[in-house]
Chains A and B, each alone.
Chain A
Amino acid sequence: MARGKGGSSRRRGLGNRIIIPRRKTSMLNTLEEIPFKDVDLLKNYITERGRILPRRITGNTAKTQRALRQAIKRARNIALLSFAEGHVDQD
């Protein structure tokens, strides 16, 4: 399937079904600041491979996602989180 054209054919498959949008919420949205030292909290927002989960999955607002990104990057810098899991250094 060509990229960008997938939308229309998929919609056709759904027929006249009414799509009820799921409300996305994230507990992070209520935090004023995301603590980069809270590794367990940040781990909820990264994949097993250590990548940052996109907003469409976490349901974060743009604002919190930016703050989250900042926090994760800080945590990575100070070796609290890994940049990439399952990567072996070549010595």
Chain B
Amino acid sequence: MQNTNNYAALETEISRWMAAGCGGFEDRILEVHRFQRTHNPAYRDFCSGFPDPACWQEIPAVPVSAFKTADLRSFPESETIRTFETSGTTGGGPGRHHFCSLSLYEQAATQGWAGARLPAEDVVALIPDAGGAPHSSLGQMASWLVPPDRFFFNRREELLAFLEAAERAVIFGTALAFLDFFEWMNGRRIALPKGSLAVETGGYKGTRREMPKEDLYRLLQERLGLPPDSVWNEYGMTELSSQFYTNGLGRPHRAPPWARGLVVSPSTGIEVGEGETGILRLFDAANLGSVCAILTRDLAIRRGEDFELIGRDPAALPRGCSLAADELLS
């Protein structure tokens, strides 16, 4: 990558800062913001409607839809080496997240995984690898965590054989892939050895299949012998570089030291009080190549510096007989 806008220098600084424990988060993410405000034209236009932020909470957050409608690059387009795409299930085509370097993304994924105290060994994936799904950020992330011969997406018999012989297994997959595997098992049960874990992520996008988290965790216990405390949830999105983890049921997600979650009131945009619900904004200093502040579409409850994710429940929306146009698009 050419160092045409100091991206590489800042990337190196951030990488060292992440490795060193991320002291002085506010100064660092404000530096990232200033860099993006300078070098990302679409974001610069957006920021022109906001004053310079005095603290990280004031960094203007772009809605996730911005990745569908705008070209959010903090580097020259010609230096793009990878573009990841969202599933595009909510209308308007997929969102696109461009990278000129995967270095910080890889560091955030591996360091975040380790920081959540997830083991680096014995990890298997129920996810297509990066070669099979080149536009999937999840596949790319998994490729840094899982050896190439441990991708078992749509290889259920081999996975079952592997699990039955394993001394320990850490299964990383989407909730949907776990369900598919359990359906294929057709009632069969195995008891994974002590120390085994499941890391579920991703949900059920575009499938019209939904299952409450409690039911999924019950199935994981029934079919694999994994109690809820041995099941982790990874909350991430294509538009970010970092991930947020929780384990078990009813516990909040925690940000890695170089990121933050902020739960804000939808009517005022100000952080809600402890235990209150609002919209989730995410701040990610590792997201250097695009925008470090994202307004998600998810609701969450503020739990100290963490957040308890409750997603978006369409059934909670008051509806009359007016057709919501996205009903036809979904």
User: A and B: real partners?
Assistant: no
Question: B: which residues have CB within 8 A of A?
Answer: none
Question: A: which residues have CB within 8 A of B?
Answer: none
